[in-house]
Amino acid sequence: DIQMTQSPSTLSASVGDRVTITCRASQSISSWLAWYQQKPGKAPKLLIYKASSLESGVPSRFSGSGSGTEFTLTISSLQPDDFATYYCQQYNSYFTFGPGTKVDIK
């Protein structure tokens, strides 16, 4: 089984900050990684797929990078709507989600 880890587990930031979340896989997953945003009481929303491809309609302040076992999600300038929990997910072998990173207000 492929295990996913994320760091940090919680991130306190201010509007306008540049935010970076890291996701690591227990073995190489090539670029088969997605990032999702989830707000309380809502379903996850796809942000990034294939490690760095931006889903249609997602603001360009979101970007993804990485391959193999280490990946990052970057929000270039944090907006009020971005306070949420972010999950990475590998789909190289079945599907595994990371434990999540909560971005809250500093």
Query: Under the rule (CB under 8 A), what is the footprint of another protein?
Result: 1, 32, 34, 36, 42-46, 49-50, 55, 87, 89, 91, 94-100
Nearer to another protein, 44 or 66 (CB): 44
Task: Please give the span between the terminal C-alpha atoms of the chain, in angstroms, as a whole number.
Answer: 36
The least distance separating another protein from the CB of residue 64, rounded to whole angstroms, comes to 12
Residue 75 pairs in a beta bridge with: 19, 62
How far apart CA 44 and CA 77 sit, in angstroms, is: 21
C-alpha–C-alpha distance, residues 59 and 105, integer Å: 20
Give the shortest CB-91-to-another protein separation in angstroms: 6
Whichever of 12 and 53 has its CB closer to another protein, that residue is: 53
Q: Which of 65, 47, 64 is nearest to 56 (CA)?
A: 47
Q: Which is nearer to another protein, 9 or 79 (CB)?
A: 9
Shortest Å distance, C-beta 89 to another protein: 7
